[in-house]
Amino acid sequence: MISPARSLVGLRLGDRSVDVAVPHGTPVYDVLRATGADLDDPTLTVVDSSGQQVDIYSTTGEHLSDGAVLHVLTRPTAVRVAKGGRRDVHDPTVTRPTTSPWWLGVAGAAAVVVTATVVLGIGRGVAPATDRWILAATLLVAALALAVTPRRPGTAGSLWPTVVAALTGAAAGAATVDTGLAAAAQLLVVAALTGATVATAARWGATRRARDEAADHALILLVVLAGAALVCAGVVLMGLPPVLAAAVLLGAVPLVLRALPSMSVDVPDEQLVDVARVASSAVGVRTPEPEPLGAVNHRMVQRTVHSAERRRDVGTVVVSLVPPLTAPLVLASAEQGGLTGWASLVAVLLVALSLGLQPRTTRGAVVRWAPRVSAGVLLVELGLLGAAVGGPVALVATGTAVGVGLGVAALSLSFGRGWRSVGFSRLADGLEGLSTTLALPVSLVGAGAVEVLRLITSA
């Protein structure tokens, strides 16, 4: 049997030295854990012979050369005596400046302005195709450059490069669309979402090996953008009315928010069960048995939980932005007083009800208030659109929005004073489940899916 590729390195652990063979694909973290290093120490640092810090999570055996020496050190901490004789341990890394680079703010503002300019089609109607493609290529290069820019140590705001890269990629995609085409609006949305997806994918690919929080932000944003792009592209390719894409995205919001917490947790199957003992295949029996991941420690659990919370928070904020953007399209395209008009009204109310009730069992300020703010914006849009259109539907919509808003405000005051009710909790659970289940089909009915199916079947 051919022995697996490995690198022979030396470890300096304080006053002792250990010679180890690191297999290719095995991170330094597992090697340190096997040699008994205290990985729970937050001041632990690993450097090579040149003094360069080594990332113990992303650096694997193939990154190390034979004969290399890794030094395991602990950063010194300053001890200061407070009033009353109490000794406080001060870590210099805690007070390290955590401000984001100033150029990210400038780049974000420029990306927003360029994206708005391109999406609105200012000046592109008379510009030749060559100029549009040059502009698109320039924006795409800028988006990819922002995506692969590493975060400097001691800086915060790892979400900003991802957002700026996505906005610049959206502008690059939108710049490729000619506004003179028949379905220019639909193509522009699809191209913008595709460009943002490409830039976000590049950002995720550049940050995932470092296991930085930027990778968590980019991953959840990539999934949301890719899903929206697929829905919009499918509607365009099948020649369906564009409002169907908005209806699908609007009705799927409660389902996505319900599934987001469980989808955010990423635990390898090898950590939960010994895969080598319970699974075998024709290829698996001929390959070397995989090395077990080892025992679970506090540092590993903490990193996994924090990563899941970051994905959940970013996903909740991004998904909560979808209803205020898609609900006006569904309401404006529906026939007032008909089946589609009433169905679109009910769909918006169902989504608002689900967004208002789901955060009752969540933890964290972001995931509790982002859906509620989105529900409040939905009710405001419903009332404004109803007042602008007029008629009985407008009267019902405005009255319902005001009534639901007053009811939510009254319940919020009651909960703030400590009032609890088992009966109300069960009623809220039933309404939440009903609204989450019915939001998508009712949204499709409001977008005219019944008429589309009738035309398809009769053709």
* pLDDT tens-digit readout, 266-311: 776 666 666 656 656 666 666 666 665 666 667 777 777 888 888 8
Residue 25 domain flag: yes
Q: Per-residue pLDDT for 34 more than 90?
A: no
Kindly state whether residues 15 and 138 are assigned to the same domain: no
pTM of the model: 0.67
Residue 299 domain flag: no
Cα–Cα nearest to 346, from 456, 251, 454: 251
Altogether, the residues listed in the chain come to a count of 459
In this predicted structure, what is the pLDDT of residue 338?
76
Share of the chain above pLDDT 70, in %: 68
Q: Per-residue pLDDT for 234 more than 70?
A: yes
Q: How many CA atoms lie within 13 A of 341 on its CB side?
A: 14
**CB atoms closer than 10 angstroms to residue 92:** 11
Kindly state whether residues 131 and 201 are assigned to the same domain: yes
In this predicted structure, what is the pLDDT of residue 249?
93
Kindly state whether residues 73 and 107 are assigned to the same domain: no
Question: For the stretch 414-452, what's the b/e string if a residue is b when 16 or more beta carbons lie within 10 angstroms of its beta carbon?
Answer: eeeeeeeeeeeeeebeeebeebbebbbebbbbbbbbeee
Residue 293 domain flag: no
Residue 271 domain flag: no
Kindly state whether residues 342 and 215 are assigned to the same domain: no
Kindly state whether residues 56 and 127 are assigned to the same domain: no
Domain that residue 70 falls in: 6-77
Residue 392 domain flag: yes
Q: Domain count of the chain?
A: 3
Q: Which residue has the higher pLDDT, 48 or 191?
A: 191
Q: What rounded mean pLDDT belongs to the chain?
A: 75
Q: Which residue has the higher pLDDT, 199 or 16?
A: 199
Kindly state whether residues 119 and 73 are assigned to the same domain: no
Q: Per-residue pLDDT for 48 more than 70?
A: yes
Kindly state whether residues 38 and 155 are assigned to the same domain: no
In this predicted structure, what is the pLDDT of residue 92?
39
| Rounded Cα–Cα distance for residues 443 and 251 (Å) | 6
Mark which of 203, 219, 239 sits at the end of a domain: 239
Q: Residue 22: which CATH number? A: 3.10.20.90
Mark which of 60, 77, 94 sits at the end of a domain: 77
Residue 296 domain flag: no
pLDDT tens-digit series, residues 323-348: 999 998 888 887 777 788 888 888 98
Q: Which residue has the higher pLDDT, 59 or 391?
A: 59
Kindly state whether residues 221 and 162 are assigned to the same domain: yes
In this predicted structure, what is the pLDDT of residue 106?
57
Q: Which residue has the higher pLDDT, 297 or 1?
A: 297
The continuous run of DSSP H or E covering 147 comes out as helix 129-147
Kindly state whether residues 353 and 407 are assigned to the same domain: yes
Mark which of 239, 257, 284 sits at the end of a domain: 239
pLDDT tens-digit series, residues 165-178: 888 888 888 888 87
Q: Which residue has the higher pLDDT, 436 or 39?
A: 436
Residue holding tokens 């602990």? 74
Q: Which residue has the higher pLDDT, 294 or 84?
A: 294
Kindly state whether residues 150 and 65 are assigned to the same domain: no
Q: Per-residue pLDDT for 237 more than 80?
A: yes
Share of the chain above pLDDT 90, in %: 11
Answer yes or no: are the C-beta atoms of 322 and 249 closer than 8 Å.
yes
Residue 379 domain flag: yes
Kindly state whether residues 63 and 181 are assigned to the same domain: no
Kindly state whether residues 63 and 116 are assigned to the same domain: no
Q: Per-residue pLDDT for 97 more than 80?
A: no
Residue 316 domain flag: no
Coil/strand/helix, residue 39: coil
